[in-house]
């Protein structure tokens, strides 16, 4: 039996990261992680005529870079798991429409990087695939007009708001080789804490992160000290602090080893992103520009990557709905 405890699955074959890449916009390229990105676009258009096409272009470019890094042609991939924030996940499907790779579309909101890694590594563990790609991203401009206001409106943002990352991450997983391995996965359940403020996503998602981390720690009989680093996806500064409090109350205190990708990605003092970064591209680009390189460089040996997502839409918010959250966790070991 490969299940440990209630929800965690141990991967005996430890699927390997064969290659990875990150592509981001210019704002992200001016932030603290600038050295880690594989490509920084000069502007947000990526040479395209619409924000949606720009997002799709970015995903395709990121996918191709990750294949090159893995020294594989796309035709050697058995499956791709991809998704994004756009309605009907069109930036992913249009990015991959000519790839001829078996395509499994996901919607995990901003948790998609972890969801795609989780399912991709299980495909390899099960012997169903030899090489798999996990791909996701988001774009500030397409997200703003879809979720909030047209950019031209110049709407004010409140201090708890987060900034949707223009960025993509792509990871190629394989059954052999590689310096980093997926050793365990803990899929998340949906947690609805009743938060209704769409400008406080960190608060809405922190209870889901709590549930997944608590479950992962209990399943594996590990604690914070058993990891060199723990990353949540896009809780932002508020959600990060809230999760710290919640974990301490639950008996699983974390220390400075815990960081949030949305906090790491920008210089919050000078980049006007309020509570930090968010979006599918947040944890995806930080994974590929910071976490995986850090594991390869020996900075860390065992990392818990726990991407978070808010499973709402503008319509559910307009209809008075709460914001259910989810968090999927993946253990990466060098």
201 binds its own copies per the rule CB under 8 A: no
Please compute, for residue 140, the number of CA atoms within 13 A of its CA located in the half-sphere on the CB side: 19
- Note whether 294 binds its own copies by CB under 8 A: no
One of 4, 40, 90, 250 touching its own copies (CB under 8 A): 90
CB atoms within 10 A of CB 12: 8
Q: Is 315 in the site for its own copies (CB under 8 A)?
A: yes
Interface residue with its own copies among 59, 89, 143, 171 (CB under 8 A) is: 89
Q: Which stretch binds its own copies (CB under 8 A): 22-30, 241-249, 276-284, 321-329?
A: 321-329
Residue 112: CB minimum distance to its own copies, A: 9
Is 114 an interacting residue with respect to its own copies (CB under 8 A)?
no
Element (H, E) at 208: helix 201-220
Cβ 106 to its own copies shortest distance, Å: 6
Scanning 131-139, 158-166, 287-295, 305-313 for contacts with its own copies by CB under 8 A, the matching segment is 305-313
Residue 173's nearest CA partner among 10, 310, 312, 11 is 11
List the one residue from 135, 243, 326, 334 that touches its own copies (CB under 8 A). Answer: 326
> Collapsing DSSP states into helix, strand and coil, what is residue 85?
coil
- Reading the block at residue 145, the tokens are 């007009």
- Dist CA 203 CA 28 (whole Å): 23
The answer to whether residue 151 forms part of the interface with its own copies (CB under 8 A) is no
Question: Beta strand pairing status for 163-164 and 302-310?
Answer: unpaired
Q: Which residues pair with 284 in a beta bridge?
A: none
CB nearer its own copies, residue 211 or residue 260 = 211
Cβ-based neighbours of 176, under 8 Å, separated by 6 or more: 16
User: What value, to the nearest 5°, has the Cα angle with vertex 225 and ends 219 and 228?
Assistant: 105
Nearest distance, CB of residue 289 and its own copies, angstroms: 25
Per CB under 8 A, the list member of 4, 68, 72, 104 interacting with its own copies is: 104
Size of the site for its own copies (CB under 8 A): 58
Whole-angstrom CA distances from 131 to 113, 137, 164 are 17, 20, 30
Residues 142/290, Cβ–Cβ less than 8 Å: no
The answer to whether residue 88 forms part of the interface with its own copies (CB under 8 A) is: yes
**Scanning residues 158 to 197, which ones bind its own copies (CB under 8 A)?**
187-190, 192
Positions in the binding site for its own copies (CB under 8 A)? 1-3, 7, 9, 50, 52-53, 78-79, 83, 85-90, 93-94, 96-109, 115, 118-119, 122-123, 125-129, 187-190, 192, 311-316, 319, 321, 324, 326
């Amino acid at each position: 039996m490969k299940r440990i405890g209630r929800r965690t699955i141990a991967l005996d074959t430890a699927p390997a990261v064969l290659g990875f890449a990150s592509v981001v916009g210019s704002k992200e390229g001016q932030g603290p992680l600038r050295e880690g990105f594989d490509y920084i676009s000069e502007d947000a258009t990526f040479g395209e005529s619409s924000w949606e096409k720009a997002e799709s272009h970015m995903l395709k470019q990121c996918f191709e870079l990750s294949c090159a890094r893995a020294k594989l042609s796309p035709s050697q991939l058995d499956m791709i798991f991809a998704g994004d924030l756009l309605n009907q996940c069109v930036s992913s499907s249009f990015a991959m429409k000519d790839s001829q790779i078996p395509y499994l579309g996901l919607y995990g909101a901003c948790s998609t990087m972890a969801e795609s890694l989780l399912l991709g590594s299980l495909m390899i563990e099960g012997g169903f695939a030899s090489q798999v790609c996990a791909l996701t991203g988001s774009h500030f401009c397409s997200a703003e007009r879809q979720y909030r206001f047209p950019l031209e409106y110049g709407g004010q943002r409140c201090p708890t708001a987060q900034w949707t990352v223009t960025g993509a991450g792509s990871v190629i997983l394989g059954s052999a080789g590689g310096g980093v391995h997926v050793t365990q996965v803990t899929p998340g359940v949906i947690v609805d804490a009743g938060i209704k403020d769409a400008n406080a996503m960190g608060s809405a998602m922190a209870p889901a992160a709590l549930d997944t981390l608590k479950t992962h720690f209990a399943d594996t009989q590990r604690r914070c000290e058993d990891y060199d680093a723990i990353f949540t996806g896009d809780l932002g500064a508020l959600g990060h602090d809230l999760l710290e409090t919640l974990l301490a109350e639950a008996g699983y205190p974390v220390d400075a080893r815990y960081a949030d990708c949305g906090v790491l990605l920008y210089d919050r003092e000078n980049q006007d992103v309020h509570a930090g970064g968010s979006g599918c591209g947040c944890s995806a680009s930080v994974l590929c520009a910071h976490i995986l390189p850090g594991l390869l460089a020996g900075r860390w040996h065992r990392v818990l990557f726990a991407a978070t997502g808010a499973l709402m839409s503008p319509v559910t918010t307009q209809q008075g709905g709460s914001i259910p959250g989810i968090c999927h966790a993946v253990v990466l070991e060098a």
